[in-house]
Chains A and B, each alone.
Chain A
Amino acid sequence: MEWVAGVEGDGLKAYSGYIMPEFPRVFLLSWRGEPSPHERKFLSVLLNVMSGFTLFTESKSLSYADSVRILQYISNSYVIPFRFILGTVRREEKEHTRPDVIGQIHRKLKIPLAILEEPTSVKYCFKIEECERDTRILAIAFSSLFSSPMRMGGEIRQVISQLLLSLLSEVKGEMLSMLIEDTYGWYARHVKAAGEALASELRYLAVSLEERNIKEQLKRISEVLGRDSLSERVKGFIDVFGEREFLIGRLQQILQLLQSIGKTCIDEFDHVLTVATGQWGIAQALLLSKMTGAKRITCLYTQNSLWARLFEEYCRKELELTCNCYPEIKYLPISATDAVMIERTIYNVLKSIDERTLVVAQGPASISIPLYVSGRKSKLSSVII
């Protein structure tokens, strides 16, 4: 077993590792005694994100048995974009006759649960500290390691790496390094190893995820993370990893586009109208807001970007991003292929829009092109990616 990451508290420990690229990831959960409130918070955020928002857990009421059952459910669902084999730590139980212990052991043996030793060596190890906000960020970062080898799984890694790049501290820098290394190392191989994937949409994911030796790049990334502004960090990241880089590339495209508007236009806008793509999230919202001066963003989303929209909202609340540092976001649903609904939604959103609005048309051509043209016809500054 290669253990990539571990999160350790006094009572709760969680590890992510793998055996070989063909197998799903291993999620090892260890629970001793009574976990602290922060450890429970870590677990509840992790479970909410990893459930694809199909369930909601609150930290107070979580037990070990509940957590195992929820993780089992997640790993079996058709619709949840996370994939893993669940593992639990081998315990030396003294022989006894307590029915609850015997019952638990028997249940473990009846389900496909890997029973493993606690890792002695983990590449990236994080402690659950008293800082609740960092605990939540840690849960979000850790969850990304289990994303499934499909387009949405790739998007989860993109959104979370962008999130880490935008909310920077030393700990998050380590988390970002972990995610980069894991994506270009194990995940790239895992996607390609999924033979079936190559016959479907995943060929695009496989193509965009070139395996690479990233040791040198990772050494230089700490310098990038030290830069003040998000745009500087994005530029630095691309300097290290190259144009159209898989994890951060979308931010770079948006940055270049906004810079192409020209310095005089920056701070001219009160409002941005855009479309949520699979990479939509905290980082995009921050970049759009900081680069344009807009305090409000209206974001159109389709069912393809529904997860990204829910994730942004969830992170915004969990990370307590307030209006002082974060734009106000209003969401409006749209369809990607129902042209009648697209026409109506674009017409309605533009009919009484603030004239100091920047239209950033991105995403499916069926939305971005009509939005771009309609924006121009409404005499708004409009750009298209």
Chain B
Amino acid sequence: MPSVGELWKEVFCSYTKDLSRIREWADSVFKSPDESLEIARKLTRAYGRFPDAITLGFSPQVLVGALALRDNIIAVTSPEVWRGEGQGALSKALLDAFSDRVRVELAPFAPSSATPPDEVIRGLREVFGKLKEEGVKLLDISGGTQLVPIAAILAGFRSFSYAYPDGNFLSFYEFEIGGPWMESSRKVFKSVSLFDPDIAYALSDAMAEYDYLVVDREESFLVEDVSSADEWKKWLRNIFLSISLPQMLFSAKEELKGELRKHIRPLERELPNESKPHDECETLYKLCPEFMNMWFFSNMILSPKFSKEYLEELEESLCHTEELSNILNKRREKIKKLIENSDNFLILPQFGVGTHRISQIAKFVKNIVNCREKDVKILLGLNERLMDRHRCEIGKLRGELKKLKVEKIKVDVEDVMLDSDDEKLRSGSTVAFLLQDYSKELVKKLIDMGLTILVIPEVSYRCDEGGGRKVRAVAGYLSEYSGEELLEALSLKAGVVEGWSGSQESKETD
């Protein structure tokens, strides 16, 4: 007689078609649902968020797995399952066993002569639409027929999970599809700033800006919404960019057209019908303008021969607007708490970069201190070698920060020692601000001490509301932002690394 563990491994953690074993397992769950959930919790794992709702077909394992992850679940199931017909009887039995934890929604799953596939999709879409309106975000689509995911996408779901057994666990894997890249073969982008990717960190501004970029499977083109005849010079700039640049067309008011034609013979095109850019594109601009620039550069400057093969990689990453927005929200909360609740700020400035940068670093430190209501102790990582080598810069930094409560921390970059000053870092909670780059050896030490590090980029792209350029290269370690704007800039741009002590690891090599 096989043990309970073996039965779970065979039915819950592996694919099996042995109905008698599945029935045996379902019976055991039906008889003792709470104990079964205890076992299921040990054998279920999630890559990503837990699903809010599942689609339940003839495999009841997904229901038990979902309930192992969360207390309550919405199960969308078919009338056949609900009536307990045929193989649906097992799912029905477990729905009954967990009736206090499961809300059931009925929708057709399988086509029949009375309900053809398009009718099934319509029925499913209606139910999924209702769930979407209720705020269901993550739908598990591992149960039901192939029509289920089609209907879910049509209902507007973009975030899914899929449950699968891997021999040891039942795994729920979250993934996202969709966004403008999936929904439309034609993408329209408004106010496109194009930056030279390899000099992004050299404070470079945009090489070019275009009013519209239209990317299509059949054709790609730029549209310049001409407001002055003088803009003919923009055509000149294009000559020096790349032969792969999409054709530039113009749109202009009647009176300007004649003026423009005195200089060039451009092709004319009305502004794209889709001139209002997709909301998700706008969100992506805000969340990841640098990444968007890589996509623009690949589409506009590189030869299609070379970019075609990897554009899919980029586009796959850009299909996750919802996930990215969720990450931003969590980061916002986390950073706010870190700034408000820390007792010490350890500043790790880059030296050897010129005194003008030191002023920017000092301004950033002052701005970050001003984000708090309470006082905070500023600790400055220095050592004699640094003092000797960068006396002028360090003097300037200390001078500019003199109104703040600043203490020196002895940091020996060469030997990775923080000496007795370790205590200063351990007294109260400390958050370290690493300005662009620093000794990785020291960083490792801080990580081992469990400190949280915020990595502040010197230069980044920002997509800001309001006038002017849509996306700008912002230099100066985010020093131009203060107050709430600074907290938002940190949420978008600062790396947040929580320390991790070596004792928590099972396998560590360095």
- By a beta-carbon cutoff of 8 Å, the part of chain A in contact with chain B is 51, 53-56, 73, 76-79, 81, 150-152, 200-201, 260-262, 265, 278, 302-304, 306-307, 309-310, 313-314, 331-333, 335-345, 351-352, 364-370, 372-373, 376-377, 379-385
Contacts and interface: CB of A to CB of B under 8 A. Distances in A.
Interface in B432-458: 434, 436-438, 440, 443-444, 447, 453, 455, 457
B290 A377 contact: no
Contact of B240 (A77, A309, A339): A77
B293 A201 contact: no
A223 B497 CA distance: 45
B324 A310 contact: no
Given A340-B324, A351-B47, A366-B495, A81 B198 contact: yes
B254 interface: no
Nearest to A362: B440
B294 A343 contact: no
A76 B491 CA distance: 40
Contact of A379 (B291, B294, B303, B505): B505
Contacts of B416: none
Interface of B: 47-48, 173, 196-203, 207, 239-244, 287-291, 293-294, 297-298, 301-303, 305-307, 309-310, 313-314, 317, 320, 323-324, 327-328, 331, 434, 436-438, 440, 443-444, 447, 453, 455, 457, 459-461, 491-500, 505-510
B302 A53 contact: yes
A69 to B, nearest CB: 10
B508 A373 contact: no
Contacts, number: 200
A238 B315 CA distance: 41
Contacts of B310: 309, 331, 333
B199 A335 contact: no
Contacts of A79: 196, 207, 241-242, 301
Given A77-B241, A151-B202, A376 B289 contact: no
5 contacts: A303-B200, A335-B290, A337-B461, A365-B443, A366-B457
A373 B288 contact: no
Contacts of B440: 365, 368-369, 384-385
Given A339-B492, A344-B323, A201 B455 contact: no
Contacts of B509: 261-262, 265, 381-383
Given A56-B305, A304-B200, A352 B47 contact: yes
A336 B457 contact: yes
A304 B291 CA distance: 11
A152 to B, nearest CB: 4
B47, B196, B291: most-surrounded residue (chain A CB, <10 A): B291
Given A303-B200, A340-B331, A77 B242 contact: yes
A381 B241 CA distance: 44
Contact of A303 (B241, B290, B444, B499): B290
Contacts of A302: 290, 294
Contacts of A351: 47-48
A365 B455 contact: yes
B243 A373 contact: no
B242 A384 contact: no
Contacts of B506: 379
B197 A54 contact: no
